Amino acid sequence: MSLRTQHDVLSVEWIKLELIRTAYSTRGGLFAAMDPRAVIGWYLLMAVAPWLTHNLTTLAALFVLGAVAVALARVGPLVLGLFVIGLGFELIYLALAATLFGGDLTTVVALLEVTAKLGVLSLASLAAFVSLDPEKLSDALLALRFPPAVAFAVSYGYRMMPILVEEFATVVEGYRLRQAPPAGRGLLGWRALVHWVLITIRAFYPIFLNTAKSVRTTVEALEARGFTFATIDPRGRAIRIGSLRFGPRDAAVLAVTALAVACCYLVGATWPVYRG
């Protein structure tokens, strides 16, 4: 048996690191300084644009526009890499399946079209939301008249996640130490797999009860500090979204994007390419 070493995944420390990364990696980039409502508007503009055409030239131009936005938003290489790989694999699988049913090159081109549309959508969401920290998104949702519970949930998740993961890690560790380990690993390690799956599921029994206990305090405290009151009285909402400012920069970005999208369509109309 090989020697044990330290693992750094699914520890509380790991989760805290991930959170700090989402919180801090958002500093910088084009969209980080913008009004979150404008960012959401920008995203909608980019998300709708590709669905109004079947012109491949327009789609290609929109794709390039999305890529430029991603670069301006300073999306990290890891996230971007995952996106590209995901897109590529989806295309390959679809093409393989289509060939199986007697398709030809036109099928692949057809698939290219839908993949390009989904690709533009993904690029837009990457650019917009990687640079939007959860707190700002929460305020934007409130401003856009989402229910307060949704806006609250976004920031509450931020707060609760390390606690829940720590709790879960302790419970699983308890099982790991106290439950007898499987006799052997079995074929392809199936015994070990079953052992871990069972532990993970069983861990939810104490987690349900412990979380229920702590949620009771949380909701009492929410009540005492006016959470329900704020859902009736509009003044709290006004203060919270009062910090949001739709400035000239936001207008400029939206205008430039709208212009760029129009250009994409113009380019498409000038040199149209259609499937088949």
Partner 1 sequence: MSTTQAPERRGALRGIGSARTSTPQNLMVFVLSMALFGLANILLEIIPDVTIGPVDLSVAYFVFVPLTLAALLNPFWAALGAPLGEIVFTDLLMGDFSGLSELEGFIQMFLAIYVAGSVVRNPRSRPQIWLGALLIVGIDKFLSAVVDLAKVWVGVEDAEYVQGLPQSILLLEGVGFGIDLVISGILFGALPAMWLIPALHGRIEPLLGMRPRVPGEPRPGTVPWAGWFVVVAVLASLLSFVFAFLEAWDVSIGSVEADFRGQYGDTFLWVSVGALVVVLALAAILFSVWRRRRADR
Partner 2 sequence: MSGGIPPAGPVIEATALSFRYPGAGSDTLRDVDVRIERGDFVAVVGGNGSGKTTLCKTFNGLVPHYWSGEFAGEVRVGGVDTWESSVAELSSVVGYVYQDFQNQLVRPTVRDEVAFGPVNFGLADHAERTAEALRMVGIEHLADRFVWQLSGGQAHLVALASVLALRPEVVVVDEPVAELDPAAAVEIYERLTDLNRDHGITVVTIEHHAEFVARYARSVLLMSDGAPVWHLPTAQALGRAGELARHGIPAPQVVDGLRRIGVTGVPLSVADAATLVRADQDGGVVRRAAPRADVPDDPAREPDRRAVAVAREVGHGFRDVGGGLRPVIDDLSVTLREGDRVALVGGNGAGKTTLMRLLAGIHVPRVGTVELDGVDTRTQRAGRLSERAAYLAQQPERMFLKASVREDVALFPAGRHVPDVDALVDRILDRVRLTEHADRDGRTLSGGQQRRATLAIGLAMRPALLLLDEPTASLDVSSRDDVIAMLADLAEDIACTVVATHDMHLVAEWATRVLVLDGGRVVADTTPRVLFAEPDVLAPAHLVPPQITQLGLELGLDPLPLTVEEFAAHYAPAPLGALT
Question: Interface with partner 2 by CB under 8 A: which residues?
Answer: 1, 3-6, 8, 11, 13-14, 16-17, 19-21, 23-24, 134-135, 152, 155-156, 158-159, 162-163, 167, 170-171, 173-181, 202-203, 205-206, 209-210, 213-215, 217-218, 220-230, 233-236, 238-240
Q: Which letter does DSSP use for residue 9 in this model?
A: S
How many residues bind partner 1 (CB under 8 A)? The answer is: 83
Distance CA 94, CA 103 (A): 11
Please report where in the chains the tokens 């789609």 appear, as a residue: 59
185 binds, among partner 1, partner 2, none (CB under 5 to 8 A by kind): none
**What's the token pair of residue 205?**
């029994």
Element (H, E) at 20: helix 12-24
CB 261 within 8 A of CB 45: yes
Q: Does 25 bind partner 1 (CB under 8 A)?
A: yes
Binding segment toward partner 1, per CB under 8 A, in 12-20, 234-242, 243-251, 254-262:
12-20
Q: Does 228 bind partner 1 (CB under 8 A)?
A: yes
CB 39 within 8 A of CB 90: no
Binding segment toward partner 1, per CB under 8 A, in 62-70, 158-166, 176-184, 256-264:
158-166
Q: Please, is 167 exposed, middle or buried when counting C-beta atoms within 10 Å of its C-beta (0-12, 13-18, 19+)?
A: middle
Q: Smallest distance from the beta carbon of 96 to partner 1, in angstroms?
A: 7
181 binds, among partner 2, partner 1, none (CB under 5 to 8 A by kind): partner 2
Q: Smallest distance from the beta carbon of 65 to partner 1, in angstroms?
A: 16
Residue 268 contacts by C-beta under 8 Å, 6 or more apart in sequence? 53, 55, 57, 58, 59, 61
Residues within window 36-65 making contact with partner 1, judged by CB under 8 A? 43-44, 47, 51-55
Q: Smallest distance from the beta carbon of 248 to partner 1, in angstroms?
A: 25
CA angle 50, 57, 253 (to 5 degrees): 50
Q: 122 vs 155, which CB is nearer to partner 2?
A: 155
Backbone φ and ψ of 55, nearest 5°: -80, 120
CB 116 within 8 A of CB 63: yes
Binding string to partner 1 for residues 98 to 137, with x set by CB under 8 A, is what? Answer: xxxxxxx-xx--xx-xx--xx--xx-xx--xxx-x-x--x
Q: 27 vs 275, which CB is nearer to partner 2?
A: 27
274 binds, among partner 1, partner 2, none (CB under 5 to 8 A by kind): partner 1
Q: Does 68 bind partner 1 (CB under 8 A)?
A: no
C-alpha separations of 105 from 27, 115, 124 in Å:
44, 15, 28
17 binds, among partner 2, partner 1, none (CB under 5 to 8 A by kind): partner 2
